Amino acid sequence: MTINMCRFIFILILMNIAQTNANEFNRTPEAWSMEGGPLIVANSKAWKPFSYIDDSGEPQGLLVDIWKEYARVNNIKIIFLLTDWNESVQLVRSGKADVHAGLLWSDTRESFFDYLDGVVEIETQLFFSADYLGTDVAQFLQSGELGVVMGGYEESYIREKYPNVKLISYTNNEVMLNSAFSGELNAFVADFQVANFYLYTSSEPSSFSPVKHLYSAQIRPAVKEGAHRLRIELETGMSNISKVDLQRIQRKWLHVETVYPKYLFQFVFSLLLGFSLLYILQLRKTVSSRTAELRQLNLELQHLASIDSLTGIYNRRYFIRSLKDACRTMNEEASLTLLLFDIDKFKTINDNFGHVVGDYIIKQIAQVVAEEIPSDAVFARIGGEEFCIYLHNLTVKQANTLSKKVQACVSAAQFEKDQVCHHVSVSLGSVYCTTAMVDHQYLINQADHLMYIAKSLGRDGYQFKTL
């Protein structure tokens, strides 16, 4: 009887040990993280500027900085697991990581992830090499070869929307972009900010250009499906990050210049000039008496080629050429002031009132600003709702005053169309420079950066900087 009782107790002990080990082996990331250990965060090792490993082997990027801030404000330790994109997804699915730092929502991922709120918006575009510019995009998307990141949302999106495209999959963005830079790939799909980051840290930033916007979406952290307590804990922790710190992190990583091919405007101008000269020569052969008239016509054509047809002010091509010449001939005794601004929330105006009203407001703003600036200022519309001004030989005080005046005059104006009064504002960036032989593109980049700071601070304002 005693021996049987001992055997029974021994068996119970063995069963309890086995059950304890099984529970330890099968514990979820949620349970593991809530024991007080470090939070394991997974993402891509080559998704600049959102997540990547730098040359010294350290994790960097916008998402990395957000999770570092999460760790700071919540007083916890974080371990980053940065790897190829598809593997980063599998780390969270398998429970080897607690949370994915950020990715896009999809029907497929919804089956194995629970998502948190979005932390930043991205837009994804189709990029063509310089050799492919002019190719019919719609036709290309029926039969062309296209690079994508394996396991990324871009891959599933293209497979669904354009099933006839031949996809070339890469393990991460860096491998794909390196293939593009080497000439092996002429078209790829990538997040706009990611592509621009790689392009503008390469030796040939104009080698690829965006040709089609595909979609916009929020990057959202995600945990393994069913980890509800962990998701709630993370959402609470995220709410402890201040909006100011979140905006600071976003500004740090997302102010990357849009890529435009440098030769595009030169090509268009050369084409127009070639047709104009051919036309003039033909007229001279047939009617010699009209030589003077044709010369006048040529001058008018050149003038029209420099003017924006909607507003009557200079266009982008003329402005860039003029600014480049001004920077090249500038000496240290002179100064140059550059103002860049665009209309706040202009897309809302177009969506709610139509493009006729939108065009009317653009035209009226050009007229209002033209009345406030000196006669020797060069004023141009350089984009849809974007304007630029430069002028010489102001003092720092005069330049700052003019910047404030231009921004304020738009906010104070009222634009009435079809018995509806529209109040609009602009965000403006302004730089003041006394450096000889300064690069014109550098000035534009600085002013553009200041303009986006003004937008991030609530719009309807200006930022001024002395270089």
At 203, which amino acid appears?
Answer: S
Q: pLDDT per residue over 167-211, tens digit each?
A: 999 998 889 999 999 999 999 999 888 888 888 888 888 889 999
Give domain 314-466's CATH number out of 3.30.1600.10, 1.20.1200.10, 3.40.50.1980, 3.30.70.270: 3.30.70.270
Q: pLDDT per residue over 319-355, tens digit each?
A: 999 999 999 988 888 999 999 999 999 999 999 999 9
Q: Please give the Cα distance from 184 to 196 (Å, whole number).
A: 19
- Helices 346-353 and 355-370: angle between axes, nearest 10 degrees: 140
Give domain 121-219's CATH number out of 3.30.420.40, 3.30.565.10, 3.40.190.10, 3.40.50.10310: 3.40.190.10
Mean pLDDT rounded to a whole number for the chain: 87
**Is there a common fold for 27-118+221-254 and 121-219?**
yes
pLDDT over 50 (residue 376): yes
Residues contacting 419, CB < 8 A, separation 6+: none
Chain centre distance of CA 374: 34
pLDDT over 90 (residue 24): no
Task: Report residue 260's pLDDT band, with 50, 70 and 90 as the boundaries.
Answer: very low
Residues contacting 187, CB < 8 A, separation 6+: 126, 127, 128, 129, 132, 140, 144, 145, 146, 147
User: Structural domain boundaries of the chain?
Assistant: 1-26, 27-118+221-254, 121-219, 264-304, 314-466
Strand order in the sheet with 59-60: 46-47, 51-53, 59-60
Task: Report residue 298's pLDDT band, with 50, 70 and 90 as the boundaries.
Answer: confident
CATH number of 27-118+221-254: 3.40.190.10
pTM of this structure: 0.46
